[in-house]
Amino acid sequence: MPQLMLSELREQVWRANQALVRAGLVTLSFGNASGVDRAAGVFLIKPSGVPYERLTPADMVAVSLADGSVAEGDLRPSSDTPTHLLLYRRFGSIGGVVHTHSSAAVAWAQAGRSIPPLGTTHADHFHGPVPVTRPLTREEVEGDYERETGLVIAATIETLGLDPLEMPAILVASHGPFTWGVDAEHAAENAIALEAVAAMAAATLALDPGAEPVGQYLLDRHYNRKHGPGAYYGQPAGNAKGPQ
Ligand SMILES: [Zn+2]
């Protein structure tokens, strides 16, 4: 992605946070979006505990990628900041991270189940089953909890041999979803897609507990028409507002 000025990134991260609320993904104040400026060595994240309706772009807190300290801003950053930091440091290709407690995705996380790709909506956004992490240990929870959450996410993605941009979502067991993308806007879009896909999969399995994942050929076709080198879904870059 082209590097945005920090002021533009502020706007984008603020908009991504608002998009989560508009999509109904935020319960109380659970949820946060961030976006990184790797050239500037910082990421911007929602402050902790400020009601969404009172947030302004200026409230987004700048956090150092090098050590997690607050680089700019008067407010305390989201308590999930160490998880975001770990993910940015581990996955160099990602530019935005989102965490929510959206109900359908949380249900899968609480059941400790990965979400199988049962149809094309899933395939459009996630190139395979959306994985679930192992439960965190007591030591991890009682220790540097938010950083340990990031470590477990990264370990799960790496152990499964996944490209983080092809699988931009994970369920943290007994907790909820984290999503990411090339920037904060795409990370929020993936959080919205994940919630829809989680609800569809639960409804499908309620109707037919034996429903099978789609074939690799359908998964590949749908994923690649949106994301592959020959992508043809939507409008070409520069004409994003054209008719869909
Ligand atoms: Zn949480």
Please report, in tens digits, the pLDDT of each residue of the chain (244 residues total).
445 678 899 999 999 999 999 999 998 778 999 999 999 999 999 999 888 889 999 999 999 999 999 998 889 999 999 999 999 999 999 999 999 999 999 999 999 999 999 999 999 999 999 999 999 999 999 999 999 999 999 999 999 999 999 999 999 999 999 999 999 999 999 999 999 999 999 999 999 999 999 999 998 998 888 887 777 777 665 554 444 3
How far is the centre of ligand 1, averaged over its atoms, from the C-alpha of 24 (Å)? 16
pLDDT of residue 231: 74
Nearest Cα neighbor of 99 from 152, 26, 10, 49 is: 26
Residue 72 Cα, ligand 1 centroid: separation in angstroms? 24
pLDDT at 239: 52
Task: Report the C-alpha gap between 47 and 106 in whole angstroms.
Answer: 23
From the candidates 52, 59, 124, 145, give the one annotated as an active-site residue. 124
pLDDT of res. 102? 96
Q: Give the pLDDT score at 159.
A: 97
**According to the model, what pLDDT value does residue 49 have?**
86
124 catalytically annotated: yes
Distance of CA 49 from the midpoint of ligand 1 (Å): 13
What's the CA-to-centroid distance between 176 and ligand 1, angstroms?
6
Task: Name residue 181's beta-bridge partners.
Answer: 96
Catalytic residue among 144, 208, 220, 233: 233
- 232 assigned to active site: no
- Of 180, 174, 177, 181, which is closest to residue 197 (Cα–Cα)? 177
How many residues make up the chain in this entry?
244
Cα 164 to ligand 1 centre (Å)? 20
Question: In what side-by-side order are the strands of the sheet with 61-64?
Answer: 70-72, 61-64, 42-45, 31-37, 96-100, 176-181, 169-172
Q: Tell how far the Cα of 87 is from the centroid of ligand 1, in angstroms.
A: 15
